[in-house]
Structure 1
Amino acid sequence: MNNEQTDSTQESVTYTNPVGEMSDIGDPYVLKVEDTYYMYATSVAHAGFKVWESTDMVEWVEVGMAYDHRDHEEKWAQYDFWAPEVIEHNGTFYMVYSARAYNGSLKMAIATSDSPTGPFMDATVGLIDRPGSFIDGHFFIDDDDKAYMYYVEDNHENIVDGNHVSHVYVQEMTDDLLNVTGEPHLLLEPDQAWENPHGEYQWNEGPFVVKHDDLYYLMYSANFYASSDYAVGYAVSDNPLGPFEKSESNPILSKDMENGISGPGHNSVTVGLDDETLYAVYHVHTDPENPTGDRRPAIDRLYFEDGEMKIGGPTSDEQELR
């Protein structure tokens, strides 16, 4: 980070991707609470999730384990603790995450805490109770306080026409944010050319919703997370339950191998220092020439232009943070 004094009262903050010193993470999620940012990520896959703090979204300090399954008296999962997301609602912090249950399926759970740094303790296990594997939970609370859970039926068990396919769903949530209710709505499946829609393994995953001008923009990632082709697209609806129509401009965030950027994806969205400018937070491969599950966080500005969602990236040169 470089800080330049622009006048007697204001500093200019800049960043260069990837941000922070952390590596071997994935699926970064950033929550801003007052003037502090908290980052959660797939980070300790055998046990739970680390949490980092920052005052500027550029320099991060690890502050421990937000969730540690080893501290729980009743253990329900073996490993594969993936993709934590945390929101604050009515003074309580809610974490949704997935892990591999003892029966071999990936299951989602919700844990709660009175602090963004934890410790988070399980409140709901097996959030989606129908057969299959389910990951990548995303809370969305609309302007009318109605809550929704977006999630993925993982291709580990979802076989369609002989292929393993990941699908994005949404369900309404109960007022206490601890359970889903109503029918699941299938929203997205791999069907655009960039998503390898005819491959043996196909992905639409990592959902995140941004509401803008009364429209719902559902961001998602496609392709294998350990591939340089991992990238971000979006779909739009006038209803949080869909149907959603994918943008013809997809993907809106994809690799730039000339500048060493491989596999940008599984993003969240947060606000900048001004509490207004939107930023997509995503991961990139630590070694772009040999992509694996070892990833690092990156950020770039997200904006809307003529009704289209855009991301000003992926960038690899110095950028101003607003």
Structure 2
Amino acid sequence: MRFYNPIIPDTIADPSVVEFDGVFYLYGTTDIGTGLGASGVPVVWKSTDFCNWSFEGTIFPDVDWTVAKYWAPGRVLRRMENGRYKYYLYFSASEVASPDPNAPKPDPEQTFVATADSPEGPFVTANGPNIFSGPNKAVPVLDDIDGDPFVDDDGTAYIGWRRRHVAKLNPDWLSIDPSTRHQITTKHGGAYSEGSWIFKRNGIYYYLYTLSSNANYKYAYVMSRESPLGPFEWPEEDLIATTDHEKGIWGPGHGCLFLPQNSDKAIFVYLEYGEGGTTRQVHADWLEFNPDGTIKPVKLSWEGVGPLREVKEAVDIARQGTASASSCRPGRTVTGESDGIKLAREVTYAAQNAVDGWNRTRWWAAEDDPNPWWQMDLKANYEIDRCELAFNFPTFGHAYILEKSVDGENWLKVKVQEERKLCSPHVVEKVGTARFLRVRILEGTPGLWSFKAFI
């Protein structure tokens, strides 16, 4: 049985999925393992089958993301303006705090909106420059984080955000009508919540939100039969996702509900704890409804939803080979806590992880390795059409050399990527005859989520 969760070979949180013209787009927070004070370069992953995902470059090329941070993008909207589509991206942003304790503190995190002519960007902040702190920053849509918009059947737009707030957006989609702003009460009282998501099905409006944090994340909801602004009903069983202790899936948190086009099924896309802290990963599982419109608790799984369309893929022979590497980081125990229960899982960074077909595992070279490389022995010579390399922390970019050999002693260079390139996977065409394949990493984090070789 194949495990499709996590769905993407990278550390990503707060996923938001949309479908435009037969292509799935996933926007999210790029986790880089350094805590919530910083995030990676914002990108959009895309797929035509919901299984094979890729990105190329950043969606905000005109921002210095070493001083700014971006996270928790909401649902991307589009509408026809002046004869062409315009895309609206709502996201949380601020500036990275200076390590100098005497430096001015950045402004509080807020929700901004940016527009583009394509779902892949480039996006430009709509209410001012691409600056998110200080006197010259763009005007935020909200004075808080986790803004997620929703457009009703009549074209009226709304937005939800942290602590179960909701309001109507003005017709320009760039600001809210403050007279409609209010906070939704729930049976959980004043418990902290975030990660709102509004959707409509069969005339019922649903407002999803997360409770708690880390490995103890849980997903809850309220529903209204009148409006995205309420009044809201509290379902008797309002928790739809929580840690599955038996399966070892922890803290299903900030995500979205996705309704594929031409389908009556719903998909719950969410973050999972990963290796702790900001090393979270994205999962997707089916979500079902009861006849009265209430939501059934989601059955979390490692199998996931699998392909939503036919997967046209050549034969990947890398999974039958044996991998080796210049070094590997030592394994470790990841811990957490959910429902008062202590959690623990073992993580390894072995070379073979890159060809096990699972996006949860990766090869990662030792920190003190001066010349990291990874190698594959396919056991026989093959005529290889292409290789796909999904590197560790791909938004930092990678420079590398891919080599091939028929005997493991004499090597030929197939591809030399001299400068860092931000993409995943890196695709190398027309590899040719080889039994052995070797990747030498020149720049970028030395590791591989996956390596594929197609014949």
- 1:243 maps to 2:237: no
Secondary structure of 2:59's aligned partner: strand
- 1:294 maps to 2:284: no
| Aligned partner (choices 247, 254, 271) of residue 283 of structure 1 | 271
Provide closer, same or farther for how the CA distance between residues 253 and 50 of structure 1 changes in structure 2, counting only shifts above 3 A.
Answer: same
CA distance in 2, matches of 1:69, 1:310: 43
CA deviation profile, 1:96-145 (whole Å, cap 9, x unmatched)? 0111256431111100000111110000233346xxx5011111110111
Alignment of 1:46-125 (within 5 A): 46=39, 48-68=41-61, 70=63, 78-85=67-74, 86-90=76-80, 91-100=85-94, 103-124=106-127, 125=138
Q: In 1, are the aligned partners of 2:27 and 2:73 still within 8 Å (CA)?
A: yes
CA shift for structure 1 position 95: 0.4
CA distance in 2, matches of 1:32, 1:284: 22
Secondary structure of 2:195's aligned partner: strand
Aligned length, in residue pairs:
276
| Aligned partner (choices 26, 30, 35) of residue 22 of structure 2 | 35
Alignment of 1:216-255 (within 5 A): 216-224=205-213, 226=214, 228-237=215-224, 238-255=226-243
Provide closer, same or farther for how the CA distance between residues 151 and 145 of structure 1 changes in structure 2, counting only shifts above 3 A.
Answer: same
Provide closer, same or farther for how the CA distance between residues 168 and 126 of structure 1 changes in structure 2, counting only shifts above 3 A.
Answer: farther
Q: In 2, are the aligned partners of 1:47 and 1:70 still within 8 Å (CA)?
A: no
**Residue in 1 that maps onto 2:301:** 315
Q: In 2, are the aligned partners of 1:31 and 1:37 still within 8 Å (CA)?
A: yes
List gaps (5 residues or longer) in structure 1: 3-14, 153-166
Alignment of 1:142-153 (within 5 A): 142-152=152-162
Q: In 1, are the aligned partners of 2:194 and 2:254 still within 8 Å (CA)?
A: yes
Larger radius of gyration: 2
CA shift for structure 1 position 179: 1.6
Which stretches of structure 1, 4 residues or longer, exceed 4 Å deviation after superposition? 44-48, 318-322
CA distance in 1, matches of 2:304, 2:256: 21
Q: In 2, are the aligned partners of 1:171 and 1:241 still within 8 Å (CA)?
A: yes
**Residue in 1 that maps onto 2:251:** 263
| TM-score normalised to structure 2 length | 0.56
Q: In 2, are the aligned partners of 1:137 and 1:150 still within 8 Å (CA)?
A: yes
Q: In 1, are the aligned partners of 2:284 and 2:304 still within 8 Å (CA)?
A: no
Secondary structure of 2:14's aligned partner: strand
CA distance in 2, matches of 1:66, 1:28: 15
Secondary structure of 1:259's aligned partner: coil
| TM-score normalised to structure 1 length | 0.77
CA shift for structure 1 position 311: 5.0
Secondary structure of 1:30's aligned partner: strand
> For residue 108 of structure 2, what is the amino acid of its counterpart?
S
More strand by share: 1
> For residue 22 of structure 2, what is the amino acid of its counterpart?
D
Secondary structure of 1:111's aligned partner: strand
> For residue 169 of structure 2, what is the amino acid of its counterpart?
M
Alignment of 1:163-178 (within 5 A): 167-178=163-174
CA shift for structure 1 position 168: 1.8
CA shift for structure 1 position 177: 1.3
CA distance in 2, matches of 1:268, 1:89: 21
CA deviation profile, 1:176-214 (whole Å, cap 9, x unmatched)? 21121242432335752xxxx67xxx4211111121222
RMSD: 2.6
Secondary structure of 1:119's aligned partner: coil
Provide closer, same or farther for how the CA distance between residues 48 and 169 of structure 1 changes in structure 2, counting only shifts above 3 A.
Answer: farther
Provide closer, same or farther for how the CA distance between residues 318 and 140 of structure 1 changes in structure 2, counting only shifts above 3 A.
Answer: closer
**Residue in 1 that maps onto 2:13:** 26
CA distance in 2, matches of 1:319, 1:48: 28
- 1:139 maps to 2:152: no
Q: In 2, are the aligned partners of 1:233 and 1:247 still within 8 Å (CA)?
A: no
CA distance in 1, matches of 2:57, 2:51: 18
> For residue 293 of structure 1, what is the amino acid of its counterpart?
T
List gaps (5 residues or longer) in structure 2: 32-37, 96-104, 128-137, 309-455
**Residue in 1 that maps onto 2:200:** 211
Secondary structure of 2:246's aligned partner: helix
Provide closer, same or farther for how the CA distance between residues 318 and 175 of structure 1 changes in structure 2, counting only shifts above 3 A.
Answer: closer
**Residue in 1 that maps onto 2:4:** 16
